[in-house]
Amino acid sequence: MTVVANIVAQRDDFTLDLNLRIDDGETVVLLGPNGAGKSTTVAVLAGQLPLASGFVAFGDTTIDDSNDIFVPPRDRRVGVVFQDYLLFEHMNVLDNIAFGINTRGARMADARTDAGRWATRFGVGGLLAKRPSELSGGQAQRVALARAVAMQPRLLLLDEPLAALDVETRAATRRTLAQHLREFEGPRLVITHDPTDAFLLGDRIYVLEDGKVTQEGTPERIHSHPATSYVAAVAGTNLLTGRNHGGALALDDLDFELRTSNTQIEGDVLITVHPRAVALFTDEPHGSPRNTWLTTIDSVDPLGDTTRVFLADPLPIAVDITPASTAAMGLAPGVRVWASVKATEVAVAAVGSN
């Protein structure tokens, strides 16, 4: 089954305009900053907010349109995992999971039997008698996910599923979540503001900014070819603007020119340079790179197995190198270095393209 949604929805002065498609067995991530329209999307798909125009279809069945069709939330079979999980404190783990099954008409005794199987599958089979307040964040998330999947939803919808977890728990829980998502055969939608969640969980990503999709594509495509400054920032890619004339890029607001191998896209362009594509040297390099300049290090930030170096004028960009290279070159704020990047690594896109 494929979920197709053409959504125009209104909340006070905010308008959401979103076209969305999710195929069976596909995890689509809706990524955006606060206020972009993510919670409005959840409300529409879950049946909590009417459409101003458009439609929502699950396969051949229209469940919502702006004319005369509206399937109530209880009949939509949307399995929702909310940010704070919304587990029932007066119920133990077994009954929390059984609740979703029971709402589909199963007798409570049968629902509990089925819930026990789902609990085991999601790694919480030993916690059946515990109340939500006795669970860790990761355990509570698995219970909420088991409850959502146990109801055999047509769409699995996860709203900021990792936001409530601390940093130490999040990485391990993300791996577990990715595994469980792959095991659910229907369409899956993850809502998040966290680019790490988006890039690691999604088969495709929709970037939502101010109520509109500004980019859609695979994680690899979005990471390497960001279309907006927001996407560039979350992807860790340097994004510049300027004008391309025969491969010569005149940068906006900077007294600097870059060379690109792309001579087909002329005029106003978005320019992206991945931090890993830039090399640093203590002495002036003599080789193939078409772009070489002398600069000063602004800051040095260790990021695990990578060090991010921010350069100052004439071209303020980020560079990713290894900690070993950082130490060997003695890199620190104020140190003068040479930077270079090949023209083939300077990507351009026409302004406004995705």
Q: What is the CATH number of the domain that holds 146?
A: 3.40.50.300
Boundary residue ending a domain (230, 247, 268)? 230
pLDDT of residue 57: 97
If pLDDT is split at 50, 70 and 90, which confidence band does 168 have? low
Q: Which residue has the higher pLDDT, 204 or 229?
A: 204
pLDDT of residue 354: 44
CATH number at residue 253: 2.40.50.100
User: Looking at the structure, do residues 112 and 27 belong to the same domain, yes or no?
Assistant: yes
Residue partners of 60: CB distance under 8 A and separation at least 6: none
pLDDT for 170 beyond 80:
no
Please give the average per-residue pLDDT across 221-227, as a whole number.
82
Among residues 83, 86, 80, the alpha carbon closest in space to that of 44 is found at 80
CB 73 within 8 A of CB 31: no
253: left (phi over 0), alpha (psi -120 to 50) or beta: left
| 214 and 281 share one domain | no
- Give per-residue pLDDT as tens, 285-304: 987 668 999 999 999 988 77
Task: Identify whether residues 172 and 247 lie together within a single domain.
Answer: no
Q: Are residues 289 and 226 in the same domain?
A: no
pLDDT digit string, tens, across residues 108-135: 999 999 999 999 988 899 999 999 999 9
Backbone angles phi, psi at 36, to 5 degrees: -80, -20
Please tell me whether the overall predicted TM-score, pTM, comes out greater than 0.75 for this model.
no
144 and 273 in a single domain? The answer is no
In this structure, are 180 and 280 located in the same domain? Answer: no
Task: Say yes or no: 318 and 247 in one domain.
Answer: yes
Its domain, for residue 119, covers 3-230
Exposure string of 216-235, with b = 16+ CB inside 10 Å and e = fewer, is: bbebeebbebbbbebbbebb
Residues 66 and 146 in one domain: yes
Q: Which of 230, 265, 294 is at the close of a domain?
A: 230
78-81 vs 61-65, strand pairing mode: unpaired
Domain end call among 230, 249, 271: 230
Q: Tell me, yes or no, whether 254 and 345 share the same domain.
A: yes
Same domain for 82 and 221, yes or no, is: yes
**Whether residues 327 and 197 fall in one domain:** no
DSSP secondary structure code for residue 116 in this structure: H
End-to-end CA distance of the chain: 27
Is residue 344 domain-shared with residue 242, that is, in the same domain? yes
Q: What is the pLDDT of residue 353?
A: 47
Find the range with the poorest average confidence among 29-33, 47-51, 288-292, 320-324: 288-292
Contacts of 300 (CB under 8 A, 6+ apart): 307, 308, 309, 310, 326, 331, 332, 333
The structural domain count of the chain equals: 2
